[in-house]
Structure 1
Amino acid sequence: MNKLMTGVSGVRGVFADTLNPIIAIKYAAHFAILQKQSYPERKPEIIVGRDSRTTGKAMLHSIISALISVGCDVTDLGIVSTPTLLLKVQESDAIGGIAITASHNPPEWNAMKFVDADGMFLSPEKADKFLSSVEEDIPWAKWKAMGELKIDNTAIQEHIAKILNIPYLNIEQIRSRQFKVVLDSVNGAGGLISPLLLKELGCTVYEINSEPNGIFAHIAEPLKENLGQLEETVSFFKADIGFATDPDVDRLAIVSEEGKCIGEELSVALAELFVLPKKKGDIVVNLSSSMLSDDIAKSFGVQVQRTKVGEINVGKKMQEINSPIGGEGNGGIICPDVHYTRDAIAGMALILGLLAESNKPLSAIVDSLPKYYFAKDKITVDASLMETLMNNAPSFFQNYQLDTRDGIKAIGEKHFIHIRKSGTEPIIRIYVESDSPEKSRELCEKVKTMLGEINTLKDSDNEARKK
């Protein structure tokens, strides 16, 4: 049996294994109780939406039942992107929201992401308070205090309108270019919103995997190794660009007009290139994001401020310093003129704005940037061994500058190594970036081997103790 993953990223697990309707009811009810206590002056309304997973309906009905039964009104947006739901909460008087999505996880997974009244995910402090309450008794509402359910089909159009109103986005300039765009929505929620935005921007759209049926056409994470079909389709149609999103549409990967995936790390960098000439201010990215942001920031006379991994950490820092652009290196662009959350749809508009303004093909823009190379890997670890493994890791990095705010980031000359526990899976992630692909791969493999040796030793020790 897998472990139910709980944390600042929400509650996530394999449906019918560690996650089921009863668990969904428990967490949804306690979240609603917490939000009612947090906002006693507001009408208790919670907004829900889901991605296209086949278990989404079961999760949705369980969650609605729980929310209504503790006296909350529920607004159901249907199948929508996570940023669409977050924006809807932000611009409403609701006390919170629940996004039913396991993001890039395989289709057998599902999850609940809990949204505060400001349209952002729960802060780490509030998430801890929430999770510590879930074993308490649930004060179900009496028969006269049941909540109501309503359906709202306006959220997608409202999201598109907000993007089209980004003040520095020249819509007519983009439309005049009549871009040819290939779109891969992996049969997630993106198929319902991304084509509409692109057509509003005057694009000819070639859609692949746009049916939101939850049967993902390929591995859902929008990484280069999963986007061969998109690369081939861009080449076939001689398109200007290809966009790929994950099932809940908060991560954006890009394929150039040459039919080559440019790497998810460049999504935020290209958005920075477009925004910073128009709105000057420090960039905010997480500790695992590319050093390219430092080069871009320097060229515009601003700084990079780094946070722990997790969009809530990046978004809150952006709010604090009034940052004009930021995000996470997994393709998670945060455009504050829409809202302070990762938003692949807004990212598409910014990248098309850059192409229209520069009048250059995407490959030429990419070629003009400093070159860094990522190697990323992961190691599956028994939950009981996680802390021991991470505590032993600093011994690997004797000659590095260490940042321990989020796992261990070892910073060297023109490279870094970052290892951290995943918040969504029982794994330790390894990120290495350097100015050489060979160096990045070599360092990544070396760190993975060392972690694996410790994991094997500790696992053997545990087995010996059991005997």
Structure 2
Amino acid sequence: MTLIKSISGIRGTIGGAPGEGLSPIDVVRYTSAYGTWVRKRCGKERPKVVVGRDARISGEMVKNLVLGALQGLGIDVVHLGLATTPTTELAVTHFGADGGLILTASHNPKQWNALKLLNEKGEFLSASDGELVLDLADREAFVFAGVDQLGSVEEADFLPGHIASVLALDLVDVEAIRKANFKVAIDCVNSVGGLAVPALLEALGVQAVLPLFCSPNGEFPHNPEPLPEHLGEIADLIRKEKADVGFVVDPDVDRLAIINEDGSMFGEEYTLVAVADYVLRHTPGNTVSNLSSTRALRDVTEKLGGSYRAAAVGEVNVVETMRATNAVIGGEGNGGVIYPASHYGRDALVGIALFLTHLAQSGLSCSQLRNTYPSYSMSKNKVELTPDIDVDALLVKVKSLYADEDINDVDGVKIDFADRWVHLRKSNTEPIIRIYAEAPSTSEAEALAATLMLQLKDMAQ
């Protein structure tokens, strides 16, 4: 059993003793801490919190505990039921709420669930706010309401509002998408994407939709992380039915993977690249992604006259850097598109609408569009170390060894070479260093990673 307590939320496996997994007691404890934080932050006698969840099997149980704990604190709840993460984020501001809770373990397998915590802007908590919640939980510093002050629960469906907001974006061209007469295959991994993605495509005028795993019952038909090794069935469907494009989302619909018309992968790293290319052509400006995302975004941004910045890994860090640089588009290389004209959160529905507009206006096939972007390959590795090794000291040695190169140490150490890079990050939970490398070919990326892994092992002796 696993329970991971972090500033971004509480994640764990269902079952086991309290404190060992995400037990009912842990759900109530951390929900109560969050609710107490909301009350202190807003200063209201009757705060309001939005709650939405993905379709995983444990969701109903976790939802009941969360709603009860919030009501017990005297907090009024807007309950969205089955809702995507971006739907819940947008609903916080729509309903004038003081915060939001998303019950989802994102791409994790079915035994996992989590409490994702939002502020009054519908954005993930800052590091300092997350620390306050964890402190409240550790001290159990919450006081529940008396019988006459218990909170209420209002049921609401905000998916239509979310879709309407996507269609209202200036760069979403519904007419162009309708005229393109696309045939679109989708894999929604039997979670809330099965409700949201077909509804979006219908609103965009897509008549031919090939749905795969769209029953929101939480029975994931394959590993729910949208990686190439998990997407064989939709690739076969695309080839068989001659679809123009395929879209795959994770269980809470904040990540988007795209598949070409020949069943090949567009590349999860290139979801943001393609959407950014389209946005920058119409609204020139700056972009942001995290340090472990493809260099292709920087290439596209600079080609179109903008500036690119790399943020520390983590959505909240990307958002903070986007705000600081007034970025017009940003996100993460895991298929997470953050478009400030909509909201500061990863949103696969926004990504789908912008990508389909781009594809329609380009007149190219999906694979042809992919081939217009710089091509890089990535290698992801890790070096396991003994617990007595000072990982920070090792990273300092790496910086010294490559002092003549372009170094970014905002999150670990990233070394930028002329046409490739390598990023080393220490794990917060185990004695390992993660190594991400990118180069023009897979073999070159793997060779670069192997070089750094060997150097690390030599330095550790």
TM-score (norm 1): 0.91
Aligned to 1:5: 4
Q: Does 1:144 align with 2:148?
A: yes
| CA distance in 1 between partners of 2:103 and 2:310 (Å) | 28
Could you say which residue in structure 2 is the equivalent of 1:435?
Answer: 440
Q: Which shifted more, 416-425 or 321-330?
A: 416-425
Could you tell me how far apart the structure 1 residues matched to 2:369 and 2:268 are?
Answer: 15
Residue 83 of structure 1 aligns to a residue in which SS?
helix
Task: Indicate how the Cα distance of structure 1 residues 396 and 317 shifts in structure 2: closer, same or farther if over 3 A, else same.
Answer: closer
| CA separation of 1:209 and 1:144: change in aligned 2, threshold 3 A | same
Q: Deviations over 1:142-195 (max 9, x none)?
A: 111110112112x11111000000012211111111111100111121111001
| 1:215 aligns to 2:219 (yes or no) | yes
Matches of residues 408-423 of structure 1 in structure 2 within 5 Å? 408-421=413-426
The answer to which of 77-86 and 415-424 deviates more is 415-424
CA–CA separation in structure 1 for the residues paired with 2:380 and 2:48: 41
Which of the numbers 88, 100, 104 marks the counterpart of 2:103? Answer: 100
Q: Which residue of 2 aligns with 1:465?
A: none
Q: In the alignment, which residue of structure 1 is the partner of 2:391?
A: 389
Structure 2 residue 409 is matched with structure 1 residue 404: yes
2:175 is the counterpart of 1:176 = no
- Alignment CA distance shift 1:33-1:452 (3 Å): farther
Residue 70 of structure 1 corresponds to which residue in structure 2?
73
Q: Distance in 1 between matches of 2:122 and 2:339?
A: 14
The amino acid that maps onto 1:420 is R
Structure 1 counterpart SS, 2:70:
helix
Contact 2:55 2:218 in 1 (8 A): yes
C-alpha contact 2:395 2:412 (8 A) present in aligned 1: no
Contact 2:7 2:134 in 1 (8 A): no
Distance 1:438 1:359, change over 3 A: same
- After alignment, is 412-421 or 393-402 more displaced? 393-402
Deviations 1:340-383 (A, max 9, x none): 1000111000110111111111111111211111112356789x
In structure 2, give the amino acid aligned to 1:14.
Answer: T
The alpha-carbon deviation at position 321 of structure 1 amounts to 3.4
Q: Which residue in the other structure is 1:285 paired with?
A: 289
Verify: 1:444 aligned to 2:444, yes or no. no
Q: String of CA shifts for 1:242-284, please: whole Å, max 9, x gaps.
A: 0111111100011011110121110000001111111111111
Summarize the Cα distance change of 1:350–1:210 in structure 2 as closer, same or farther, 3 Å threshold: same
Matching of residues 280-429 of structure 1 within 5 Å: 280-378=284-382, 385=387, 388-396=390-398, 398-399=401-402, 400-421=405-426, 429=434
AA in 1 matched with 2:61: A
1:378–1:179 distance in 2 versus 1, CA, 3 Å:
farther
Aligned equivalent of 2:236, options 226, 232, 242 = 232
SS in 1 for 2:281: coil
Specify the alignment match of 2:38 in structure 1: 35
Which moved further from structure 2: 226-235 or 422-431? 422-431
Counterpart mapping for 1:125-204 below 5 A:
125-136=128-139, 137-153=141-157, 155-203=158-206, 204=208
- CA, structure 1 residues 74+107, in 2 after alignment: closer, same or farther (shift >3 Å)? same
Equivalent residues of 1:253, 1:331 under 8 A apart: yes
- Paired with 2:406 and 2:416, the residues of 1 have a C-alpha distance of 5
Look up the match of 1:260: 264
Calculate percent identity across the aligned residue pairs: 36
SS of equivalent residue, structure 2 residue 50: strand
Query: Deviation at 1:286?
Result: 1.2
Partner amino acid for 1:442? A
Q: How many aligned positions are there?
A: 452
User: Are the structure 2 counterparts of residues 380 and 349 from structure 1 closer, same or farther at C-alpha, using a change threshold of 3 Å?
Assistant: farther
Task: Provide the secondary structure at the position in 2 that maps to 1:325.
Answer: strand
**Does the 8 A contact of 1:44 with 1:73 survive in 2?**
yes
What residue number does 2:26 align with?
23
CA 1:166/1:208 → structure 2, altered by over 3 Å: closer, same or farther?
same
Which amino acid in structure 2 is aligned with residue 286 of structure 1?
N
Q: Give the RMSD, CA atoms, in angstroms.
A: 2.3
Q: Structure 2 CA distance, aligned partners of 1:260 and 1:337? A: 31
Shift of residue 102, structure 1, vs aligned partner: 0.6
How far apart are 1:451 and its partner, in Å? 6.6
Tell me which moved more, 91-100 or 411-420: 411-420
Residue type of the alignment partner of 1:60: K
Q: State which of 47, 55, 65 in structure 2 corresponds to 1:44.
A: 47
Q: Secondary structure at the match of 2:294?
A: coil
Amino acid aligned to 1:389: V
**1:51 to 1:281, Cα distance in 2 relative to 1, 3 A:** same
Partner of 1:250: 254
1:84 matched to 2:84? The reply is: no
Q: Which amino acid aligns with 2:96?
A: D
Specify the alignment match of 1:14 in structure 2: 13
Displacement after TM superposition at 1:44 (Å):
0.5
